[in-house]
């Protein structure tokens, strides 16, 4: 990590989530320039979401690890998209792959309806968003949104994906 202004590499005491920002009064230790509130807000949000995941999953290590990974990737997607209006492939593709791998367990343990729901929900929403992308030639939404909807379908399944899309619009 480095200061966005002077590019100085930050030391360990500058990287303590939330506390470093408060101790340094929102300024870089080296150039004294103001640091964006984005950093402590993302750190606080991440902490809250991680606590919620840990509270939700209790002691299932596989589910906990998977949900912490997905939470981390979604935080990155949200912040990056908010700032640059882009969903980076190097973040969305690991989200898709990890969710496919996680959902594969439902086939292994003969829970085909759950796997089928995730796949069909994902394909249905993706086709709809792909049509919007193609009809508008990318003016109404980007292709990153199509990939995000594919991930959402895999992650949420039906009907949760439909509800999330309703609220997203």
What integer is the mean pLDDT of 112-141?
A: 86
Q: Is 6 helix (H, G, I), strand (E, B) or coil?
A: coil
Q: Give the pLDDT confidence of 57-112 residue by residue, as tens digits.
A: 877 888 899 999 999 999 999 999 999 999 999 999 999 999 988 888 766 666 66
- pLDDT at res. 112: 65
Instruction: Enter the pTM of the model.
Output: 0.83
CA distance 166 to 80: 22
Q: Answer yes or no: are the C-beta atoms of 17 and 9 closer than 8 Å.
A: no
Query: Which tops the pLDDT comparison, 115 or 121?
Result: 121
What lies within 8 Å, CB to CB, of 39 at 6+ separation is: 21
Sign of the CA dihedral 13, 76, 78, 90?
Answer: positive
pLDDT of residue 106: 67
């Amino acid at each position: 990590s480095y200061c966005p202004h002077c590019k100085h590499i930050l030391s360990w005491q500058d990287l303590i989530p939330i506390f470093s920002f408060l101790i340094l009064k929102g300024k870089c230790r080296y150039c004294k320039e103001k640091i964006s509130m984005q950093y402590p807000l993302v750190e606080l949000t991440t902490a809250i979401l991680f606590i919620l995941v840990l509270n939700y999953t209790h002691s299932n290590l596989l589910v906990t690890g998977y949900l912490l990974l997905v939470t981390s990737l979604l935080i990155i997607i949200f912040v990056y998209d908010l700032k640059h209006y882009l969903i980076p492939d190097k973040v969305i593709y690991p989200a898709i792959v990890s969710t496919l791998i996680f959902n594969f367990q439902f086939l292994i343990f003969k829970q085909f309806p759950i796997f089928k729901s995730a796949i069909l929900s994902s394909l249905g929403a993706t086709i709809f968003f792909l049509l919007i992308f193609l009809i508008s030639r990318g003016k109404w939404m980007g292709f990153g949104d199509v990939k995000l909807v594919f991930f959402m379908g895999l992650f949420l399944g039906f009907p949760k994906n439909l509800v999330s899309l309703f609220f997203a619009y």
